Amino acid sequence: MSVPLHLVCPHCAAVNRVPAARLADAPSCGKCARPLFTGHPVELDAARFDRHIGRNDIPVLVDFWAPWCAPCRQMAPAFAQAAGMLEPTVRLAKVDTEAQQALAARFGIRSIPTLALFRGGREIARQAGAMGAADIARWVKGHAG
């Protein structure tokens, strides 16, 4: 029997229990019935950030970015592509540091784009600067285990 994992729905933020062995079976949310994995990063505000970081049993990779940042905009398609490469074992999310300034300050984001990898509610790795999709996936796999 597979150990159940808690997964936060990217649509309604409900916490779902999914057996680890069923992650690749395209699980749906028990509350809103939408897919738990979409192949796209989840946009997070402060409340959704805390829920995703604190309640997901899989690692969460967060891209701290801003709309005015050219390297951030250049990396956005690669980050989205990495979501398709890393799901369902890693959740990818984006935080707009302009709209969520308190969240950026809380994590000491000094340059953007900055990728931060979280597991079990705490940050386990950080990387500043734009990266390609393959580099993002390789970096995450090297730190997430």
The counts of H helices and E strands in the chain are 4, 7
- Token pair, residue 24, equals 């690749």
**Active-site position among 9, 12, 32, 72:** 72
Helix (H) or strand (E) holding 135: helix 133-144
Q: How many of the other CB atoms lie within 10 Å of CB of 81? A: 17
**Active-site position among 9, 12, 29, 69:** 69
Amino acid, res. 85: M
Query: 72 catalytic, yes or no?
Result: yes
In this structure, the strands spanning 60-65 and 42-43 are unpaired
How far, in Å, CA of 49 to CA of 47, rounded?
5
- Token pair, residue 66, equals 């801003």
Question: Which residues are catalytic, by number?
Answer: 69, 72
